[in-house]
Structure 1
């Protein structure tokens, strides 16, 4: 390679990095540096009262997790929430997308109507559902009309988390519905026509063609769903006024981290919890990727 060609490549590389530098600086300042600082805090005891000081504690913050009963409650609530919400919203999104992909009347109207909960503020949705869940609210009124038992949705520990689950399934499924709908429209119609010639019914075409073709999209939907459920905070915070009640029934991992960080001012332990949560999410994503290893996103 000539010296002139080498200089040209060097100038092109410098120009490319020059154009990328604003994005690199922003990501470095607001993403990479906070992550490194959180890791630094996780191995220190931080004093925020008076003069800020840091005392190196090694793995003490991580060892403390073993005896933290509220942590195990938060993990159990978060895991239970994810195990119910993620499959439910994924299945509901796929069913809605399949229906709206058919040639039905007012299809565009229903697409817009179903998507509306997604564009509504999360805080507003929580306030609306708190009114619905009120002891004398709409949900208990409807349950009473059809002869079903009513509940104290906001005060009963056995159903408080279920109330948040119902709200999130209803509000999150439309977003994934749009993703599924776009993927459904990319499946060649020739595959369905060939299946019909072979005598396949609607159910067989769905299981043999639609579901396998949507595996990469399903992987994305499930991963994003799990990440979203493990990051549940605002709904639980508003429902319980920041306490995670009643009786820790709505206490989630992120809410617990918030309480330690901004109520107890225990930034070191809160950072250790955040680091642990990030590791759990990454491990779950790797496990999911293993099950979807045969599929590659285009």
Structure 2
């Protein structure tokens, strides 16, 4: 009995640094933020006044909230399906023993290794009003598009950049899942007369459903929390005309520009509830927790 208790104490002692880090840098801030969302907080003056649920009322009455809501959901609905499909297609291509696949894999993975800030600056250079992409489109089609200053196009640049930088990582994840599928399943399907498309639909897709759920979930969480690209491209304003204003950028503006930490924490919990709800729905739709036959 004493030996078992000693082993338990040893285990907890090894875990203690990680547990303390989680406690002080995750649990305590979340609890404090939950406390703050019911107050009007002035961080500079160091004062707070209890106002109940008024912070939520102010959020839902603010047109910037609905602009960030629209932009974020538009971003999620476009980026997540496209990056998932492209990643799966490239993984399937590599899994079929394409020549030079290792070199292709190395080149494809470079965007994921590049920092988000550096990638954003590169895309700003490509898509600015005198950038390579704008000039190329102008030379080929005679159309002058101003991506970064046009409210209908600014968010598109961030979408393209996110897809470009996240596809390689998800491609590797899909590839690992594809390589774990037993060849015997494909052989059995082939003997039953299944075409390549039917094998993909009835063998590959069900077998990689847990991987697909992981990719979609990570894509959803990342897209809902998009901040740095929108901040850098708009210089923190969410412009032009709030077209790149996202939930996370709006939270930043409330906390550090408007000095309203109460509303910022309230919006953070709204965002958390949205992410949890959407993830739960995706889990039920993909049935990732079921055993795939």
Give the TM-score taking structure 2 as reference length: 0.95
Q: In 2 relative to 1, CA 297–45 (structure 1 residues): closer, same or farther, beyond 3 Å? A: farther
**Could you tell which deviates more after superposition, 223-232 or 186-195?**
186-195
Correspondence 1:13-24 to 2 at 5 A: 13-24=8-19
CA apart distance, 1:14: 2.6
Correspondence 1:1-298 to 2 at 5 A: 5=1, 7-50=2-45, 52-147=46-141, 149-293=143-287, 295-296=289-290
Give the TM-score taking structure 1 as reference length: 0.93
Give the whole-Å Cα distance in 1 for the aligned partners of 2:194 and 2:137: 41
Give SS of 2:18's match.
Answer: helix
Structure 2's unaligned 5+ residue stretches are none
Give SS of 1:55's match.
Answer: strand
Equivalent residue pairs, number:
292
Give the whole-Å Cα distance in 1 for the aligned partners of 2:54 and 2:91: 49
Kept in 1, the 8 Å contact 2:82–2:163? The answer is yes
Q: In 2 relative to 1, CA 297–177 (structure 1 residues): closer, same or farther, beyond 3 Å? A: farther
Q: In 2 relative to 1, CA 160–297 (structure 1 residues): closer, same or farther, beyond 3 Å? A: farther
Give the whole-Å Cα distance in 2 for the aligned partners of 1:30 and 1:289: 28
CA apart distance, 1:171: 0.9
Q: In 2 relative to 1, CA 266–140 (structure 1 residues): closer, same or farther, beyond 3 Å? A: same
Kept in 1, the 8 Å contact 2:213–2:288? The answer is no
Give the whole-Å Cα distance in 1 for the aligned partners of 2:33 and 2:178: 41
Kept in 2, the 8 Å contact 1:257–1:270? The answer is yes
- For the aligned residue pairs, the C-alpha RMSD in angstroms reads 1.6
CA apart distance, 1:297: 8.0
Give the whole-Å Cα distance in 2 for the aligned partners of 1:49 and 1:137: 41
